[in-house]
Structure 1
Amino acid sequence: MSGEHVSTRLLDDYARGDTEMAVDVVWALEAHLETCAMCRSRLAASVATEVPGIATLLDTVRAGLEPQLDAAVRAPSRRHRPRWLSAWLTPATAPWLAMTVVVTLMALLLDSLTPSTFFGDTSPVLLIAPVLPLCGVAASWSRGLDPAYELTASTARAGLPLLLRRTTTVLVVVLPGLLVAGWLTGAMTAAQWLLPSLAFTSTALALGGLVGVTRAATGLAVAWGVVVVAPTWVTGHVPSALRVVFQPGQLPVWGLLLALGIGAVIARRNAYSTL
């Protein structure tokens, strides 16, 4: 890169498909080309001079397709989503976010209607709050749920920045709902669920660099359900060995887990481009 634009030598190497170009250089170049019309124009000129065979091939393909495209029936125009929304949210995430909101409402309803002995002295909202964001995080980078996954994963902006954008979108939707639920029930303060929620989210992202984000988020949610939620549901109280996790005095521990998760994500930030 030279100044604000790509150097001519780098553009010529890219146009020729030079296999010796470093991967990070290719990704930086492609990310720049997305936003720079001048460099895209220079690249087109470089392709015409460096690899004229490609220009000839494109002309041949265009000549064969144009009659078919002119005869094809145009699809009705659809209302497109704003570009900023596409950059922060995948279509597959919307149903999961809606489901997360519904689960929050159900927990709030249980807290209001069930006898006080059903969950003991622990609010159902507090039981699910730590892992509730994981539902959206699991869907935010899922190969099976996103029909455009391969397309997204192959772009220059894929990897940790895009994953953090989508995770932020999940938290922006989930955390206000939990805040309102906690205020309505009066059974928990924001600190009691906010730090655990963020700690679980950062841990899911940290483990995601090793086993995949969807697997990590799903595994943590299932583990919490088996170890904490299910026994509480059956016995009517949180197991004594686990009751300490809900105490305000354990907030520094959750803060430490959050910091460790963030540190692991930063240390392995390059691993997310290959998920």
Structure 2
Amino acid sequence: MSEIHVPEDLLTRYAAGDDLPEETLWVLEAHLDRCPDCRAGMAVAIEADPALPALVESVRATIEPRLGPGHGRLWQARHRLRRTLARWAVPAVLPWLAMTIAVPLAATLLEAAGPGVMPPLLLLVAPLAPMLGVAVSWNRWTDPAHALVAVTPQAGLTLVLRRTLVALLVTLPPVALAGLAVGASPARWLLPGLACTAVVLAAGAFVGVTQAAIGVTVLWSLAVVLPTLVNSADPVLLDPAATPGWLAVTLLAVAALTRFRNRFQLEGTSR
């Protein structure tokens, strides 16, 4: 079956900056991203309009002096590294991830300073760490370029999952090590933490990742943290007997995330 290409008149209108319907722009830009023939046709359409090459040249003349020399293997290696990292995370998110890690680590210091008969405080907040790390990695308040990224053809669940993986790799190791130091074994909170993260991602397809994280945090505080602080007893939801329930929650959330994965492209610009 032959590849379907963008009509020439539509390419000309797109190149000229005509006001096209939003759904047409989405399909057209996604197609241009993977079709070299249509990109070549786009170049022809640009060259056919005498005003567009002049505009491109004026923009290039303006920004070229600010781009630096751009020579040498070291510069090229740094440029490739930045491009690779940009596909997974953005530098602006790293301070927020550090703040996310600081919360459970502060709980660890409090536990080490005055251990009591209650369950370790870190055990109560550790399941929230990966979820909050995911929340700060995909929202318009922590990423200055979020609005630009969210409207690109490559945005959507794939990019969200990439940033989720980075957030988990950054937050889980230090929290796990801190848990081992104060008796909050990762075996007790890791699966609940992953379940909360999966629920946030699934709900984030409808209400936004940040709003979903806030909701899960409130529910966790009411269902686990406050009762534990009041009763000074091990939380039932972190008991090993609750493992099958958390596994079921994780699988259901992943299934819902897979089913509604396209909503991240529809909702991304407003989150």
**Structure 1 pair 13–75 and aligned structure 2 pair: CA distance change class (3 A):** closer
Q: In angstroms, what is the RMSD of aligned CA positions?
A: 3.0
Point out the more displaced range, 99-108 or 23-32. Answer: 23-32
| Other structure's SS at 1:88 match | coil
Cα shift readout 1:70-97 (whole Å, capped 9, x = no counterpart): 9x97476797552111110023321121
Q: 1:161, CA displacement in angstroms? A: 0.6
Using structure 1 for the length normalisation, give the TM-score.
0.79
**Structure 1 pair 211–113 and aligned structure 2 pair: CA distance change class (3 A):** same
Matches within 5 A, 1:248-267: 248-267=240-259
Q: What stretches of structure 1 of length at least 5 have no aligned partner?
A: none
Matches within 5 A, 1:40-51: 40-48=39-47
Q: 1:137, CA displacement in angstroms? A: 1.5
Q: 1:128, CA displacement in angstroms? A: 0.7
Q: 1:230, CA displacement in angstroms? A: 3.8
C-alpha distance in 2, partners of 1:25/1:75?
Answer: 32
Partner of 2:213: 217
Identity of aligned residues (%): 37
Decide whether the 8 Å contact of 2:198 with 2:250 is kept in 1.
yes
Matches within 5 A, 1:106-145: 106-117=106-117, 120=118, 122-145=119-142
Q: 1:27, CA displacement in angstroms? A: 4.9
Using structure 2 for the length normalisation, give the TM-score.
0.80
Matched, 1:26 2:28: yes
Partner of 1:271: 263
Partner of 1:96: 96
C-alpha distance in 2, partners of 1:166/1:41?
Answer: 32
C-alpha distance in 2, partners of 1:23/1:134?
Answer: 33
Match of 1:15 among 11, 17, 21: 11
Q: 1:168, CA displacement in angstroms? A: 0.9
Decide whether the 8 Å contact of 1:15 with 1:47 is kept in 2.
no
C-alpha distance in 1, partners of 2:181/2:207?
Answer: 38
Cα shift readout 1:138-181 (whole Å, capped 9, x = no counterpart): 11221222211111011111011101111111111112123212
Q: What stretches of structure 2 of length at least 5 have no aligned partner?
A: 15-19, 70-74
Matched, 1:69 2:84: no
